[in-house]
Structures are given as C-alpha cells and as structure tokens.
C-alpha cells in the first residue's frame, strides 16, 4: 500500500538549444510520464502557474515550449541554480512500497540504493546515476548542460569522486550545488565501508598526454598547467613552441597525425543545419593567413593578487608566465563562415540574429565570442593549424584551434571540433562563470551580473631582474669620494587587449614615488612570421638598467659600504622594482591588487612590484676585501 508523502515538484528550464530535438530530452518525457503515473496530484491550479509550467504540452512534444524544454526533478530538498526556474508545488506522493524506516540517521525522506542498482544506471542507461560520497544522484537532466559534455557518463553507474580528484575544477561550492539538485537518495548502508562506498580504480585519461619541456614551470600536472619561464619571455619575441605556457582544463585529445587531414570541423548555423570541413578542406580551399598574437590566461599573475592583497582567491596561483606570444597560421574564421553561407556583412552591421559564435572542443571545453569579432576582417580570428612555422603541437590544440587575438586565451579554444552560431553566449561554465570579475567586496557573486571576459585590459610584468654586486667608481680629483652603487637590470613584457598598442612602460625603483621609462625592445623578425595581422595583437618586451644608489636598499639604508657587517644583520639586501604600462588609449594599470581583488582571482593587472635581492654573504666578502 502506498503512504502519502509530501513532495515538491521542481521544474528545471533548459535553453532550447541544448535539446532541440525531443530525442535529446528523454528525461523530460520520462519525468512527466513518471509524474503522471505515480502521483495523485495534478497540474498547478492557478492560471499563472499553468502559463509558467505548461507541462502537458511538454509531455506532448517532449521538448520545445517557447524557447525552453522542461526537465523535472523530484525531491523535497532539491533546489535549482540560475538560470533554472524553481517551481515549488506541494502535492502528495503515492509510493508503491511501504515507507522504510532506516537505521541510519541520514535524511529519511530519501530512499536507499544498493550499489548494484546504481551500477545498472551506467553511461548506456537512459537514466545515468552517479554517487558522490554516500549520496546517489540521477544526472539524466544534467548531461546536456554539463560543461564537459557527455564525458560525465564515464563516471555513470559508480562513484564520481575519483574523477573529481583528477579534475579538481569540480571541487568548488557551485559545482557541489549543481550536483545537489539531482540528489535522489543514499547508498545503502550495507554497501558502505567507513561511511563510504569502495572506490574502483579508473582509467587515467591523461596517460596519452604529450611529453613536455622540463623547463616549463608546472602548476598542476593533470590537467597540465605550466608557465613559461621568465627568461624565455625576455629572450624571445616569439615564444618557442615547447616553452609556450600550457593551460589545459582536461586531458589532451588524441588525433593520430596520419588521420589529421580527415579531421572534421562541424559548423552549425542558426537554423540547425550543419556544414562540415575536413582539415584538408580548410588548408586547400581558403587563403592561408598568419597572425602574431599573445595568448594570456585570465589568471596570469593571480598569485600577485593573493599575495599583495593578503586575500586568497580561487584558481591556479600563476605568476608572470601564463602568457606567451606566437605566430599562428591557419585560415580566417570569417572566410570559413562566409563559405558556410553566413552573411558576415549583415552581422558586422548588427543586423544578424546571430550574436555569438560558440567553439566546442574534443575534450569538452567550450566558449564563445561575439559575432562582430568573429566576422570583422580586422579582427583576425583564425582557425589555426600552425604555430611558429610548425605544425600546431598537441598541447596547443592539434590538429585545429581557434585564435582570437586580443581576447582572453580562454576564447582561443583548442582541439576545436564544433562551431555553433547562436543568439546566446555559450552555456559553458567557462563562458558563464569562471572567466568573470566582481568587486573586491563580492564573495558570493551573481554570475550573470558581470560580462564574460573577452578583450583583455592592459598588463605588464617583470620577467627577469638582476642586481650586480656593489661597485665604487674611481674617485676623481675634484669630487668627493664616489658613493657605491649597484647595477640593476630588469626586463619584462607589456600587453594590452583589443589590439591596443603599448606606448610606454614606466619603471620605479622607489615604490612609485618617481618613474623612468623602460626601453621598448624591437620585435624580433622571423622569416616564418612575415604577417602580423591588422592590429597590435603581440606583446612588447622591454628592458631597463640603472645604477642604484646604496640608499635605494631597504636593509642598509643608512650604512656606508665601508662599514663592518656583523652576522646579526639581515642576510639579504633588497630593493623593490615597480612596472606599469600605458596603451594607446591611455589606459593604465591600477596601483594595487587589493582594489581589483575578485573572488576568481582574474585579471590581476595591478603594478608589478618585485623585490630584488643580493645575498649578503657575497657582499660581505667583497666589502671585506675592499677594506683590507
């Protein structure tokens, strides 16, 4: 006999684009069917509710009411995240079994499942489930919206914990909140060991990742995230391929080189029709284009933001090397879109319904850019297959990637497999969440309140700094004894988004009280990179040299070089170098990281302050030698 149990009916609205065809929305049909056959309650009674939740229609067509299709979830605890529509509805659940009284003290309103039952809901099941800890989730409705795509099904039928250990990006509150919406019950206590289900070994998806140059500065090994060493930035206008910084969100997809000509790019137009291009098509049917462009992670210098402000942020603690510069070779996205039948000119004039171009990757990454950037003949957006005169390396998107010059690198999608023209931005978390900034006070943020980072603000940083030993100029007859000085040599880069040129780099060795100008270095010429593109998409590298007076050093401010230095004194002598840059529209960097601090730690572009030190021991020898 059934026992009436309170429940709340929750309706989750998913953009139509996610499930255009009913076949893509089995969960909606199934959920409605389940609802109709198992519950006594009928549809909400008020006209308003009917309008907002016309699920009878949903049942008929499976999907496609207005611009939404409907998914349904049942749980007293469930809550939905924006942009879902929460539909509280009190009804009575007619269970077909007795209400169990469980021995455990977990929420008794939810059922218990044996792991064998969970296992049946694997990736091939129409209703895939996962466990996280001792909880069971029905992720049927989530698969289509998962930023990583159907890869989530790999974990279906078992525990997701091991996967989240690999893809640490999931270990954030908002990801937990999303999963919690799909909670359907708990793992049966008979299957728990120390309160947790046993963990199966899983296949390592990173096993096929390429070899990397050990000179890269590793931040995480899986997925691979590594900085370009400062010296490599100072040494070369074009960053060598094996020293180009690596920012991977997942593993590196495998495309055998021999099969790469047949690699297929799908372009989906607004009406849902598609056109396919093999890599060979791209290489042979379109003019070859070359653009020299910086890629910079939105988190570049994040560590400075945390350290300077004294406040932690989310994200990888990049220093100055999450930026590199290369000459990219490929074809113009605008050319390919035009060939696919898109009216670029209309879009340039803002007259197209298409407002965004989505890029989807083989390994599940996704992002979008505004259509105007995509079709602008001066925008230089490439579908690139070459890098610095070589085949695109696997770590950088082989066989095909997008290059969106002047924009945050998160839009230059690697391992590009699918382009979608759309009225909306990509629904990916990389578009809707991760790559945004908020006020320094905002720790619980409304993600929709800020725009996705596209063009970058101005940035500069120090990549090398060298402080020579103290030296004293030979005394001249008519002057006082010369004061000792130390030669300081620093170098670095400056870059601004949107193709805005760097016009000046200012350096201070007195914490911003006074400034000098660094020398902006000429760009190296490279026979492999004859074309640069329509704007200043590349960085400027700079150098600065000065003879610092003794007084510039914190530790020894009032001592003369002849003084004896006792062992009790500090072991280093240090000075601070500060750099800031200005671009052609005279935007400049803010003075402090604290004022631009944001919970994601993005766009840490305040003045770069670097402490430069010499070891005292060395110094001591020298001064002792001198006075002897």
Q: Are 292 and 328 in contact (CB under 8 A)?
A: yes
Angle at 492 between CA 490 and CA 496, to 5 degrees: 145
Find the Cα–Cα–Cα–Cα dihedral 67, 72, 76, 78, rounded to 10°: -60
In the beta sheet, which residues pair with residue 369? Answer: 357
**Site for a copy of itself (CB under 8 A): which residue of 280, 595, 615, 617?**
595
Q: Which window, 7-15, 68-76, 281-289, 513-521, contacts a copy of itself (CB under 8 A)?
A: 513-521
Stretch that binds a copy of itself, among 141-149, 223-231, 592-600, 608-616 (CB under 8 A): 592-600
Catalytic residues: 146, 170, 247, 297, 435
Total residues belonging to the chain: 628
Is 136 or 456 the residue whose CB approaches a copy of itself more closely?
Answer: 456
Q: Which is nearer to a copy of itself, 372 or 418 (CB)?
A: 372
CB of 497 to a copy of itself, least distance (A): 6
Nearer to a copy of itself, 241 or 605 (CB): 605
Tokens read off for 248: 């991977």
- At its nearest, how many Å lie between a copy of itself and the CB of residue 515? 5
Gap between the Cα atoms of 330 and 496, Å rounded: 23
What is the Cα 27 distance to its own chain's centre?
30
Q: How many residues bind a copy of itself (CB under 8 A)?
A: 48
Nearer to a copy of itself, 118 or 354 (CB): 354
Minimal distance in Å, beta carbon 408 to a copy of itself? 9
Q: How far is the CB of 238 from a copy of itself (least distance, A)?
A: 23
Nearer to a copy of itself by C-beta: 70 or 509? Answer: 509
- Cβ proximity to a copy of itself, 26 vs 512, nearer residue: 512
**Part of the chain binding a copy of itself (CB under 8 A), chosen from 167-175, 316-324, 417-425, 440-448:** 440-448
Helix (H) or strand (E) segment spanning residue 288? none
- Residue whose token pair is 């209703």: 127
Q: Which is nearer to a copy of itself, 191 or 536 (CB)?
A: 536
- Name, in order, each residue with C-beta under 8 angstroms of 290's C-beta and a sequence gap of 6 or more: 327, 328, 329, 529, 530, 531, 533
Q: Please provide the distance, in angstroms rounded to a whole number, between the alpha carbons at the two ends of the chain.
A: 102
The partner residues of 583 in beta bridges, in order of sequence, read 502
Burial of 449 (0-12, 13-18, 19+ CB in 10 A): exposed
Task: Report the C-alpha gap between 529 and 260 in whole angstroms.
Answer: 24
Contact residue for a copy of itself among 72, 437, 610, 612 (CB under 8 A)? 437
Rule CB under 8 A: is residue 514 a binding residue for a copy of itself?
A: yes
Stretch that binds a copy of itself, among 57-65, 424-432, 475-483, 500-508 (CB under 8 A): 500-508
> Quick one: which of 248, 588, 614, 623 contacts a copy of itself (CB under 8 A)?
588
Query: Applying CB under 8 A, does 311 fall inside the site for a copy of itself?
Result: no
User: What is d(CA 233, CA 17) in angstroms, rounded to the nearest whole number?
Assistant: 42
Q: Which of 574, 591, 620, 622 lies at the binding interface for a copy of itself (CB under 8 A)?
A: 591
- From the CB of 286, what's the least distance to a copy of itself, in Å? 17
Residue ranges in 517-576 that form contacts with a copy of itself under rule CB under 8 A: 517, 534
Residue 485 touches a copy of itself, criterion: CB under 8 A: no
Report H helices in 236-375.
279-285, 302-309, 333-339, 344-348, 371-375
Q: Which is nearer to a copy of itself, 555 or 591 (CB)?
A: 591
> 135 vs 432, which CB is nearer to a copy of itself?
432
Give the nearest distance from C-beta 535 to a copy of itself in angstroms: 10
Cα(71)–Cα(139) distance, integer angstroms: 11
Least Å from the CB of residue 509 to a copy of itself: 12
> Pattern 347-386, binding to a copy of itself, x per CB under 8 A?
-xxx---------------------x----xx--------
Exactly one of 83, 111, 240, 440 binds a copy of itself (CB under 8 A); that residue is 440
Map residues 452-471 to x or -, x wherever contact with a copy of itself holds by CB under 8 A: -xxxxxx-------------
Interface with a copy of itself includes 442 (CB under 8 A)? yes
CA–CA dist 157, 160 (Å, integer): 9
3-state helix, strand, coil in the chain (%, to 5): 25, 30, 50
For 167, the 3-state DSSP assignment is coil
Q: What does DSSP assign to residue 24?
A: G
Tokens of 198: 């046993």
Q: Which helix (H) or strand (E) holds 456?
A: none
How much is the CA Rg of the chain, to the nearest whole Å? 29
Say if CB 414 and CB 382 are below 8 A apart: no
Task: Kindly indicate which of the ranges 150-158, 172-180, 554-562, 583-591 contains the residues binding a copy of itself, using the contact rule CB under 8 A.
Answer: 583-591
Question: Which is closer to a copy of itself, CB of 18 or CB of 534?
Answer: 534
221 near a copy of itself, rule: CB under 8 A = no
DSSP string, 247-258: E-SSPPP---GG
Tokens representing residue 524 in the block: 């190296």
Report d(CA 314, CA 296) in Å as an integer. Answer: 18
Binding footprint of a copy of itself on the chain (CB under 8 A): 348-350, 372, 377-378, 437-442, 450-451, 453-458, 497-498, 501, 503-504, 506, 512, 514-517, 534, 580, 582, 584-592, 594-596, 602-603
């Amino acid at each position: 006999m059934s026992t009436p149990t309170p429940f709340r009916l929750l309706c989750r609205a998913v953009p139509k684009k996610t499930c255009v065809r009913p076949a893509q929305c089995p969960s909606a049909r199934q959920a409605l069917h389940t609802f109709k056959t198992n519950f006594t309650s009928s549809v909400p009674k008020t006209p308003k509710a009917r309008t907002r939740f016309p699920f009878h229609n949903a049942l008929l067509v499976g999907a496609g009411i207005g611009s939404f299709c409907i998914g349904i979830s049942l749980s007293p605890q469930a809550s939905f995240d924006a942009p879902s529509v929460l539909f509280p509805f009190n009804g009575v659940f007619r269970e077909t079994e007795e209400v169990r009284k469980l021995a455990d003290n977990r929420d008794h309103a939810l059922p218990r499942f044996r792991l064998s039952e969970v296992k049946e809901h694997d990736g091939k099941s129409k209703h895939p489930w996962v466990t996280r800890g001792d909880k069971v989730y029905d992720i049927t409705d989530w698969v289509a919206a998962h930023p990583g795509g159907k890869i989530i099904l790999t974990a279906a039928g078992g525990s997701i914990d091991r996967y989240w250990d690999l893809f640490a990006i999931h270990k954030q509150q908002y990801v937990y909140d999303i999963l919690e919406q799909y909670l359907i019950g708990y793992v049966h206590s008979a299957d728990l060991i120390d309160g947790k289900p046993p963990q199966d070994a899983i296949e390592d998806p990173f096993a096929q990742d390429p070899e990397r140059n050990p000179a890269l500065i590793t931040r995480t090994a899986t997925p691979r995230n590594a900085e370009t060493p400062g010296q490599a930035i100072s040494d070369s206008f074009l960053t060598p391929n094996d020293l180009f910084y690596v920012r991977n969100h997942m593993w590196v997809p495998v495309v055998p080189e021999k099969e790469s000509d047949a690699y297929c790019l799908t372009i989906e137009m607004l009406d849902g029709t598609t056109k396919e291009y093999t890599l060979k098509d791209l290489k042979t049917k379109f003019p070859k284009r070359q653009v020299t462009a910086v890629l910079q992670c939105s988190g570049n210098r994040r560590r400075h933001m945390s350290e300077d402000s004294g406040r932690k942020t989310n994200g990888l603690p990049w220093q100055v090397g999450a930026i590199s510069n290369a000459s990219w070779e490929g074809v113009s996205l605008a050319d390919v879109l035009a060939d696919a039948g898109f009216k670029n000119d209309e879009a340039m004039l803002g007259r197209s319904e298409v407002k965004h171009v989505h890029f989807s990757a083989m390994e599940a990454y996704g992002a979008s850019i505004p259509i105007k950037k995509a079709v602008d003949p001066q925008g230089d957006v490439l579908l690139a297959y070459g890098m610095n005169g070589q085949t695109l390396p696997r770590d950088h998107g082989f066989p095909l990637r997008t290059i969106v010059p002047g924009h945050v690198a998160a839009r230059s999608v690697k391992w590009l497999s699918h382009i979608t023209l759309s009225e909306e931005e990509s629904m990916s978390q990389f578009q809707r969440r991760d790559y945004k900034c908020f006020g320094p006070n905002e720790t619980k943020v409304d993600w929709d309140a800020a725009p996705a980072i596209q063009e970058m603000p101005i940035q500069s940083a120090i990549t090398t700094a060298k402080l020579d030993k103290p030296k004293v100029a030979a005394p001249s007859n008519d002057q006082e004894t010369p004061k000792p000085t130390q030669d300081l040599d620093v170098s670095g880069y400056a870059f601004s988004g949107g193709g805005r040129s760097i016009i000046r780099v200012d350096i201070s060795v007195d914490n911003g009280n006074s400034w000098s100008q660094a020398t902006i270095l000429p760009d190296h010429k490279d026979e492999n990179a004859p074309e640069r593109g329509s704007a200043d998409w590349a960085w400027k590298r700079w150098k600065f040299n000065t003879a610092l007076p003794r007084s510039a050093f914190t530790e020894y401010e009032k001592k003369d070089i002849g003084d004896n230095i006792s062992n009790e004194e500090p072991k280093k002598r240090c000075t601070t170098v500060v750099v800031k840059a200005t671009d052609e529209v005279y935007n400049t960097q803010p003075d402090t990281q604290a004022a631009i601090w944001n919970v994601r730690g993005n766009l840490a572009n305040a003045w770069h302050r670097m402490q430069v030190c010499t070891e005292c021991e060395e110094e001591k020898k020298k001064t002792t030698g001198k006075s002897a």
